[in-house]
Amino acid sequence: MFVSAKSTSSSVHSDVADKYLVSKLLGKGACGDVFLVFLEADFSRQFAMKIVDKKSFTSTIIAPSATTSGVLRSSANDVLSEVNILKQLQHPCIIHVHEVFDYPDRLYLVLERAIGGELFDRVVKKDGLDEFTAKLYFYQMLLAIEYLHSKNVVHRDLKPENILLASEADMTLIKVTDFGLSKLVGEQSLMKTLCGTPNYLAPEIIKTSGMGHYNSKVDSWSLGVILFIMLAAYPPFSDDYNDMPLVEQIKKARFSFADHAWKSVSKEAKNLISKMIVVNAAKRFNCTQALRHNWLKDEVMVKQVEELMKKDIDTRDATAKKPSSEDVNASVMQNISHESEADLLNNTVQLKNSCKENADLTVGNVSEKDIVWKLEEDSSESCSGAKKAKVDKLN
Ligand code: AMP
């Protein structure tokens, strides 16, 4: 079991390992892998830890300004100030950045954990969302992005994979993630997107290969594309549409509601999409305008969202006030939301403890941190396979 010893360089840095117990792989993103972690001092508190391997980015950390794509090499101070901005962002519909560890080779982002998975998977599983659910999610996305824009943070990489769901229920909070990361890891991540799947990128980003000037309206475009996908279960722009190359489709905003999937969708929903997928950014709706659109004047939906947000804020306040650690261990299993996760935590702790007891039996003197990494390696293969399958499905 412990045969493959990992080099020290690939172990979790000791500051991080001292504070967090790293468990299973939650997912793989363009910038790094994301793991479930538990706070060592209080196992009832779980987070998602994104580990960004800086070596996979060709240059050192780059911090573009919030509203333009100007590229500046950043110092450690720049990273620190970006991190502080991210940590201060608090909204029920965005993933809270709990803590960040910045090392020359790696960035560890400790994030609020969303257990409902990606919006992408939900849309694929349900073969498109009913209009009420799509509206409930879209309204929250607009609130979240309007909030980010009010703090001078432009997401720039909005897509259904970056919208997480707080629970398995249909009526759930959405949680926008990966905002501001491009500021920490630089334009490289954006470039990766450009080279990979530009399906959600605004034409002004594509036209200038991400190096021109653009503003927060790039997020409105992506939101329009996401709304289209939620309702139709297929993308407005795709390489699979043979009559025109993908980037040309985007540059011309060439999409239609002709397919049978749109027959049962309201005119208002289609109208809002047409106000957001607009080539001329000056004429494109911003989030505030979109929030005022007729389609979103739905009292039942707004009330649902308000209730969900209030619950989230109350839970967060209760956690903040909770006395920490010492007396928590006894009630750990009750506090963890899923039984399977209680088992997982238990197994992780046992594995860690048995490693401590049997240190001599391990090959190559593998440390407890390495063993957690071995777990990660094992789970990462199945994850990449799953990701490929679902991408194939949406395409
Ligand atoms: P990302 O790099 O943000 O695209 O994350 C890659 C995958 O990891 C996501 O698609 C999710 O499946 C998972 N993930 C990322 N962040 C979280 C989180 N905060 N909570 C739960 N799962 C997450």
Fold for domain 13-313?
A: Transferase(Phosphotransferase); domain 1 (1.10.510)
Residue 288 predicted with pLDDT over 50: yes
Give the mutation target among 25, 26, 113, 185 for probing the ligand 1 site: most ligand atoms within 8 A of CB.
Answer: 26
pLDDT in tens, 204-245: 988 887 667 788 999 999 999 999 999 999 999 999 997 899
pLDDT-wise least confident of 4-8, 116-120, 189-193, 378-382: 4-8
pLDDT score of 323: 54
The whole-angstrom distance between residue 241's C-alpha and the CA centroid of its chain comes to 28
Which atom of ligand 1 is nearest the CA belonging to 113? 20
Angle formed at CA 29 by CA 41 and CA 210, multiple of 5 degrees: 125
HSE at residue 368, side-chain half, CA atoms within 13 A, is: 18
Q: Which two structure tokens, joined as six digits, stand for 205?
A: 């980003």
Mutate to test the pocket of ligand 1, among 45, 56, 164 (most ligand atoms within 8 A of CB): 164
pLDDT band at 309 (very low <50, low <70, confident <90, very high): very high
Assess contact for 279 and 201: CB atoms under 8 A: no
Give the model's pLDDT for residue 286: 98
Average pLDDT over residues 50-76: 50
Q: 268 or 60: which carries more pLDDT confidence?
A: 268
pLDDT digits (tens, 9 = 90+) for 375-388: 333 333 333 333 33
pTM score: 0.78
- Give catalytic status of residue 392 as yes or no: no
User: Is residue 133 predicted with pLDDT exceeding 90?
Assistant: yes
For the CA of 28, the closest atom of ligand 1 is 6
Lowest mean pLDDT among 246-255, 305-314, 318-327: 318-327
Catalytic residue among 33, 42, 121, 157: 157
Burial of 28 (0-12, 13-18, 19+ CB in 10 A): middle
- 208 or 300, which is more confident? 300
Residues sharing a CB contact under 8 Å with residue 204, sequence separation 6 or more, in sequence order: 212, 214, 218, 281
The rounded Å distance from CA 53 to ligand 1 centre is 15
